[in-house]
Amino acid sequence: MKNVKVTTAILAMAFVSLTAMSCKDGKKENLEDARHSEMSSEEGDHHDEGMEHDEMDGSSDSMDSNAQSSDAKQVMAYYMELKNALVATNQEDAAKAGKRLENTLNGFDVSSYKAEQQKELKDIIADAKEHAEHIGKSEMDHQREHFKTLSKDMMDMVAITGTENTLYQQFCPMYDGGSAWLSMEKEVKNPYYGSKMMACGKVQKEIN
């Protein structure tokens, strides 16, 4: 009996000891699992932060691009209004378009362009504003004179800003020794002569 009790006691102690060891191992494994989870979580956070940063950079580029196209598109829209008014020989509508164009050029933001492009754009804008201002308060003959130089300014601007729409550079050999303009239509409608010589001219090149 005594030997049985001793044996039982030894077995009991061994069981307790094994249980304690297994608990420690279990805790150790749990701690390692917890550490691993934390590291994975941190890596995920850093990855997410990196993605957010990349997305922000992408949206910043997109904003710059939008800023560039927005001003340039508005300028071109008013230039086309002006061109159409001259085609229709409508002095009043041409004057309105000239004033709108002048105001838009005044607010043209060049900051999103490269330094060299900014300098060129400022020169182009300054000259274009002067011609738009004159068109806004002149008679038809003078409007058409200023439109010739303004059209050259618009071509120089498009060379820097680019265009989302296909433009057609058209040319009339008869007006003032030869004069060009931009149009969104391939069909020639002459802004220098209107109905007097509506189809006088040709497409010099397509701008995309």
pLDDT digits (tens, 9 = 90+) for 87-120: 999 999 999 999 999 999 999 999 999 999 999 9
User: What is the residue type of 154?
Assistant: M
Instruction: Inform me whether the pLDDT recorded for 28 exceeds 70.
Output: no
Task: Using the predicted structure, report yes or no on whether residue 54 has a pLDDT greater than 60.
Answer: no
pLDDT confidence of residue 69: 72
Average pLDDT of the residues of the chain: 79
Specify the range with the lowest mean pLDDT, choosing from 58-67, 81-90, 140-149, 162-171: 58-67
Strand 202-207 relative to strand 179-183, pairing: unpaired
Residues 6+ apart with CB under 8 A from 161: 68, 69, 72, 121
Of the candidate ranges 68-82, 101-115, 141-155, 157-171, the one whose mean pLDDT is the lowest: 68-82
Whether 22 has a pLDDT exceeding 50, the answer reads no
